[in-house]
A and B are shown apart, each in its own frame.
Chain A
Amino acid sequence: MEAAMDLMRRMPPKQSQTALSSLLALLPEHSQELLSRVDQPLEVLCDVESGKEFLLCDYNRDGDSHRSPWSNKYHPPLDDGCQPSADLRKLEVEANDVFAVYRDQYYEGGISSVYMWEPDEGEGFASCFLIKKDGSKSGQGRRGYLQEGLWDAIHVIEVGAEDEGTARYRLTSTVMLSLTTSDTDAGTFNLSGSITRQMILDLAVSEGHLCNMGRMIEEMEGKLRNSLDQILDTTNVLKIAFFSDQNAQL
């Protein structure tokens, strides 16, 4: 498995679907683990009842169906699909509404979904906050710089049991992006891939879980976006690799 994960870190991100399919073909006995460990761009379905779109991931899947956060129903329908408890569902509904506003403020468009579930064992609960944005010229990119621009964010937060007014929040975030600029002078320029970061915090529960989780995600997304800037610096082949200083003015 480690060899498989190392390959996923090296293969061109634009070909990650092909890479994953190849791994599944070579290691069919590891398919469950591969599908859960390898991040793939988020897929979208439309909830016919509410007319809103929602994002698909392992956490809202039961068999071949996915649960919509808006109607709480499975698509395609299931008789007895997995559901969060009534209390958790209440938090989930609120989270979806608030996160949609957050998403609009930062992403000026896009689709978001939040799913919550109780773990099989132990106390506390877990949630995932998903965002998908298409910032290309033909999508929702307002400034028209991108021929192709995809940003998929997956934030999974495990919340531990409350202990004397505080709880431990464990956040694992992954951002997958793919962007291609449409600048004819410079030919094609494509940057794609994914970065993952983690954050663990012990926070007072006085303002509510949603507040804590939301702030962590906001801080993390800011960090990830800055990381991308830094990555550009590092991969700036012009600076690090090829051209000696005296060539700057050529």
Chain B
Amino acid sequence: MLHSPEIPDSFYLGFVFSLCIFGAAMAEQKQSEPEELSKKQRKEIAKWFLINSPPGEIQYVAKDVESLLMDEHVYEMAVSEAFPLYNKTHMICLEMPNRSGEVLITAFGELDGSHYLDPRNAQVATVDHVKQVCSMVRPATDDELPSSYVEEFRGALDAELVRYISEAYPKGICSVYCISRKDAEGPGSDFELVAVISAGKHSPQNFCNGSWRSVWRIEFKDELQLVELIGKIEVDAHYFEEGNVQLDTNHECKDSTIFQLAEECAVSLANIIRHHESEYIAALEASYSNLPDTTFKDLRRKLPVTRTLFPWHNTLQFSLTRDLTKELGIGN
């Protein structure tokens, strides 16, 4: 998974189960004073719901949680802790004021709890996580930016990716950050970049929301004159018309290329990323087209082997098992 929530799921599950068994037992025994959950416990439950919201739905979940908690204080605590985690995990994109562009909220660009770097324009955005808005933007200081040597590579790759995104993803955003050794001065140093691509489709009128997130860690190894990539792609979707069906896919891939000049590296890396992502899309498409005819069949056939509907009417006239068995050819 791309994210690591604060609370490991198994621990949370155990915690909530014990609460639930207790709570349900209390309710069943109809005791007049069911023991109150502590504020902390209620906050943790609220946080869990918020963090597990599908892409683009956290505000709806927040409304539900607020009405269930009926305690503004606990609600405030829960949202202030949950929203930053959710926003970073889902790599939400916020508009910066004064038409300065857009900023991606990710762990890689985080300077502190409410300040995020936009490396493309060398700006720092101040963010209100709960409202999911960017309130202010200022130029980045030199400390916050990578060295000019690293910036050559970062900037070149960023430009190539922007080109790729504009062709491939109508609603995609990308960003490239330096996450290690951003102060590397020149040849002879290793450093690491990470490229993130995030695209979301929200279609509430079709009762459907989806998201694509790919994170490419790129290590520049000077001594080996090698650049190694590790990509993680996650695609999610949520369908909620008269139901709740969710798709969750994960994919990892690796590749490498030789350490060249910044421009050449950028072109090569962007091509590798483009290649792997389109391969994955093709594989996903294959999975999708397989599902109805083959995979679903393992669960339920469209029709029995006889290729006719089930003969319900025969149960009236004939002895049940004997003639049904004969008619349906069972045991042949």
Interface residues, chain A, with chain B CB atoms under 8 Å away:
3-4, 6-15, 17-29, 31-32, 35, 94, 97-98, 101-102, 104-108, 133, 135-136, 141-146, 149-151, 177, 179, 181, 183, 185-197, 207-208, 210-211, 214-215, 218, 221-222, 225, 228-229, 231-232, 234-238, 240-244, 246-247, 250
Contacts and interface: CB of A to CB of B under 8 A. Distances in A.
Given A179-B295, A238-B284, A247 B206 contact: no
A195 B244 CA distance: 6
A143 B23 contact: no
Nearest to A240: B201
Given A22-B48, A146-B298, A231 B249 contact: no
Interface in B273-313: 274, 278, 280-281, 283-288, 290-292, 294-306, 309-310, 312-313
Interface stretch (B14-22, B125-133, B136-144, B177-185): B14-22
Nearest to A107: B300
Given A28-B24, A98-B320, A210-B312, A3 B245 contact: no
A243 B281 contact: yes
Contact of B245 (A25, A193, A211, A221): A193
B328 A241 contact: no
A201 to B, nearest CB: 14
A97 B170 contact: no
Interface in B42-82: 42, 45, 48-49, 52-54, 57, 60-61, 63-65, 67-69
B273 to A, nearest CB: 12
Contacts of B26: 28
Interface of B: 9, 12-13, 16-17, 19-20, 22-24, 26-28, 34, 37, 41-42, 45, 48-49, 52-54, 57, 60-61, 63-65, 67-69, 167-172, 199-201, 203, 206-208, 210-212, 233, 235, 237-240, 242-252, 274, 278, 280-281, 283-288, 290-292, 294-306, 309-310, 312-313, 315-316, 320-321, 324-325, 328, 330
Contacts of A215: 309, 312
Contacts of A179: 295, 299
Given A7-B49, A241-B199, A26 B320 contact: no
Contact of B248 (A31, A108, A190, A210): A190
A194 B287 CA distance: 20
Given A7-B64, A29-B34, 13 more contacts: A3-B67, A21-B19, A25-B22, A26-B45, A28-B23, A35-B24, A98-B315, A104-B330, A106-B300, A187-B233, A189-B284, A235-B208, A237-B201
A108 B297 CA distance: 10
A155 B251 CA distance: 37
A116 B61 CA distance: 38
A22 B167 contact: no
B316 A237 contact: no
Given A4-B68, A234-B208, A94 B320 contact: yes
B37 A26 contact: yes
A191 B244 CA distance: 11
Given A28-B26, A188-B249, A228 B34 contact: no
A32 B27 contact: yes
B298 A135 contact: yes
A238 B239 CA distance: 15
B199 A190 contact: no
A150 B211 CA distance: 25
Contacts of B41: 25
B212 A242 contact: yes
A242 B168 contact: yes
A3 B64 contact: yes
Contacts of B248: 12, 14, 188, 190-192
Contacts of B240: 9-10
21 contacts: A3-B65, A7-B61, A22-B45, A25-B16, A31-B27, A101-B321, A105-B305, A106-B303, A135-B299, A143-B298, A188-B249, A190-B248, A193-B243, A193-B245, A194-B244, A207-B316, A211-B315, A231-B239, A241-B200, A242-B170, A244-B168
Contacts of B49: 7, 11, 19, 22
Contacts of A187: 233, 249-252, 280
A177 B244 CA distance: 10
Contacts of A135: 298-299
Given A25-B19, A28-B27, A195-B242, A186 B48 contact: no
